Structure 1
């Protein structure tokens, strides 16, 4: 049976705050802090632990023994779920976008999932888009038996509730708190946990489609409604810094991340954290933050 308490993962909480003296911010009289959520746990860093922990508790309380979730070929969420399964005794199943991947050697991310005991199930991209349809879920149940579904990226109402503690840990530490967004759960909970007068900024790492506002606007609103019964906190999205979409980059982003690493001797995860810091630097150069204010960037993952 699964271990009844995911606290057995022994997270390092609260995660540390690290002040960074960075020229684009310092020139404008703005303090930059890094909220080092990447140091919470070696296998479940940052928002992955915060989002998974309440879902794991719910699964254990219900006596469920298997977790099924979804992700792409380089999904940090799949890796974290597989690691949690290994540590806590859950069976884990990963539904992976792209049936062509089944015919190729596993990349390092998926190989890590497999090494942690996750059963990988590859589906074509059209079917993946329908992953929450009842008939698709019924087929998965027929194949794998009973399981608890954890959404792609781990974002649901329980995950948003789990991320409120991130906001509480930052009360009084910064005027603006920023986080990179993939599925919106971290931003939904972060904003709910901050104190009145603080604001949260989400930097989406995916394109928003052709319409406005960005699709994550509705997603975060829905998550807050499900988790808290309605809107919570002050937050907004700045969708300008996706650099081409999920796991995409540009020469400018690559150069920025390499330079930041060299200046501060800190590794910068490219899918989320690089875009977050790149966006915050651009905002600082636009004088988006008042002189004398403090900005905290949530470091959600490791390279």
Structure 2
């Protein structure tokens, strides 16, 4: 029997945002309120985690292990999911120096939901894809027998959940845009869209490394990459979890215009990028642009 928390949920709301910065360029802006899809696992976190959680339960596992940085929304979501499903959770956190500091708000929430935090060096964290390093990290964390969920939750199972998001948006927008961390949401979203629609990803990390990752994820999940997505680089504002004053001001202004709480690490960067691109004429007049609100503050 499927756990109640993992049953399919109703489609999240799609609302229009009347904004003269878009309207003046002949662009219609829609907001896919995927932050409302689940009360504790908003947006892409629920869509990516749910298929993995089903697999863990079907395999009889009672413990999850996953990876993330000190401000990882994925760690928070995994910890909350573990609490809801009665599963133990272990979070392997990038940065062993953090073990000697007070927990930030994000990691405090993880701990409050029962996640056991294990801090590792940044060099080991970068090498976690190497089998020997991974085995050593899992053993040191006491999680060698746990069900593994990758950083950001992005794997072929997760893409099947995100493809459902694309199917919900068939016919709702010419361009469907989403912020990208590990690229899994964009990879699945693009596979679910209708012919003629395209997906646009806004990376929240600098580096330009996502394109091959997304192609690899789509190949693993669907047999080949799709051709209906692109990335808009250069809107990371200095890197992950960097929220300079200009971005903070933009987010606060968007909140006041639309009555929408704007999450700063992903959603603010997405909305700011779309505003900048629209004002630069990147979208032809008559375009309907759908922005996916993947999380909340």
Aligned residue in 1 for 2:247: 253
CA shift, 1:273, in A, is 0.3
Check whether the contact 2:175–2:290 (CA below 8 A) recurs between aligned residues.
yes
Aligned pair 1:270/2:264, yes or no? yes
SS at match of 1:218: helix
How many residues are aligned here? Answer: 295
* CA distance in 1: counterparts of 2:250 and 2:134, whole angstroms: 42
* Offset at residue 12 of structure 1 (A): 4.3
SS of residue matched to 1:240: coil
Q: 1:80 — aligned with what?
A: 77
Is there any run of 5+ residues in structure 1 with no aligned partner, and where? 209-213
CA contact (8 A) 2:170 2:194 kept: yes
Is the 2:68–2:151 Cα contact (8 Å) retained in structure 1?
yes
Distance 1:285 1:11 in 2: 38
Match of 2:289 among 291, 295, 299: 295
Q: Secondary structure at the match of 1:200?
A: strand
Alpha-carbon contact 1:11-1:41 (below 8 Å) kept = no
| 3-state DSSP of counterpart to 2:265 | coil
Query: Could you report, residue by residue, the CA deviation over 1:22-69 in whole angstroms, capped at 9, with x for unpaired residues?
Result: 111111121100000000112110000000001111111111221110
Map Cα deviations across residues 53-101 of structure 1 (whole Å, 9 max, x no partner): 0111111111122111001111110010011111112111000111111
Residues 163 and 190, structure 1, Cα contact 8 Å, conserved in 2: yes
Paired residue for 1:204? 203
Deviation at 1:159, TM superposition (A): 0.8
Distance across 1 between alignment mates of 2:99 and 2:81: 23
Match of 1:186 in 2: 185
SS across alignment from 1:230:
coil
Asked whether 1:19 is paired with 2:13, we answer no
Is the 8 Å Cα contact of residues 6 and 53 (structure 1) preserved in structure 2?
no
- Mapped contact 2:6–2:54 kept (Cα < 8 A): no
What is the DSSP-based 3-state SS (H/G/I as helix, E as strand, rest coil) of the residue aligned with 1:110?
helix
Match of 1:221 among 212, 215, 226: 215
1:7 and 1:172 mapped to 2: Cα distance? Answer: 30
Closer, same or farther: CA 12–162 of 1 in aligned 2, 3 Å: closer
Aligned mates of 2:268, 2:188 — CA distance in 1: 22
Report if the CA contact (8 A) 2:32-2:293 is conserved: yes
Q: Is the 8 A contact 1:6 1:56 kept in 2?
A: no
Pick aligned residue for 1:237 from 227, 231, 240 = 231
Equivalent residues of 1:9, 1:87 under 8 A apart: no
Q: CA deviation at 1:8?
A: 2.3
Equivalent position of 2:101 in the other structure: 104
Q: Distance in 1 between matches of 2:212 and 2:3?
A: 30
Counterpart in 2 of 1:70?
67
Deviates more, 1:281-290 or 1:214-223: 281-290
Scaled by the length of structure 1, the TM-score of the pair is 0.94
Deviation at 1:6, TM superposition (A): 4.6
Indicate if the aligned counterparts of 1:32 and 1:297 stay in contact, CA closer than 8 A: yes
TM-superposed CA distance for 1:291, in Å, is 1.5
**Which residue pairs with 2:159 in the alignment?**
160
Alignment of 1:146-157 (within 5 A): 146-157=145-156
Q: For residue 277 of structure 2, what is the aligned residue in structure 1?
A: 283
Give how far 1:233 is off: 4.8
- The answer on whether the counterparts of 1:179 and 1:298 sit within 8 Å (CA) in structure 2 is yes
Decide whether the 8 Å contact of 1:48 with 1:80 is kept in 2: yes
- SS of the equivalent of 1:295 reads strand
Structure 2's unaligned 5+ residue stretches are none
